[in-house]
Amino acid sequence: MSTLTIASIQTSLNWLDKEANLAIFDGIIADIDHVVDLILLPETFATGFAINLDCAEPENGKVLNWMIATANSTNAVIAGSVLVQQGDKKANRFYWVWPDGEVKFYDKRHLFCLGKEGNFVKAGEQREVFTLNGFRILPQVCYDLRFPVFQRNRNDYDVMVNVANWPAARRKVWDTLLMARAMENVCYVIGLNRVGEDGNGVAHNGGTAVYDFKGDTLAQAKDNESSVLITTLDKEPLETFKQSFPAHLDADEFSLEC
């Protein structure tokens, strides 16, 4: 049965400084001494969550090219979100880049109205599932975590990944919902958050963690510290649990219109 090894990079970000951020990630990735299949980067890892400022990439911009080169050099999938220009707005785009240069993406669906995200960001319209090492992976971005209908497992994914700039002020919600999503969807959940204060004075204290399909914590990064959380997921325990407790067979039928 398949395994999947993930490196989740929890770090602070330099506000609007793409060169500095990419250099930081170059150094961190170079120091990873495990063979990994997937390297996860935080939401808006190249700029910080600067949605109202002129910092978006073109569709095939420098940051994506860096991801392509890094995936190739590490022989691992590189994934994280980037602000990408879409007409007069941006997409908060979760790029998924394979070592051979293939690129797929998911655009963040749920936009934070309290922060007026919708004034500057175009909402995604398509739910995506990517496959790696036999694991079906649902990508999500930050605020998506609050919307369980969109994330409902229709027996079409094994791992949910959420990359975020989740504020320290709402940290309890982050911890609780990651665990809840794992239990209700009978899946592994990986939550990756940043640390440090952003250019708007918003503090982030981490909470990067991996939960199994019963909601048990498999690994968790220390708060307020930059670190790389290495975790290996095993498909067999998940499949065994689903066979012994097939809750998905009792799920309500529904369709989702985006």
**Residues classed as catalytic:** 43, 108, 142
H or E segment at 19?
Answer: helix 18-30
CA pair distance 187, 89, nearest whole angstrom: 34
CA distances from 53 to 16, 68, 117, 123, 146 (A): 9, 25, 12, 17, 25
User: 192 with 162: CB under 8 angstroms?
Assistant: yes
Beta bridge partners of 9: 228
Beta bridge partners of 245: none
Q: Residue 64 class from Cβ within 10 Å (0-12 exposed, 13-18 middle, 19+ buried)?
A: buried
Interhelix angle 18-30/62-74, rounded to 10 degrees, is: 10
Name the residue among 132, 144, 136, 154 with its Cα closest to residue 174. 144
Q: What is the gyration radius of the CA atoms in the chain, in angstroms?
A: 17
User: 164 with 43: CB under 8 angstroms?
Assistant: yes
Beta bridge partners of 136: 131
DSSP letter for 124, please: P
Residues 6+ apart with CB under 8 A from 170: none
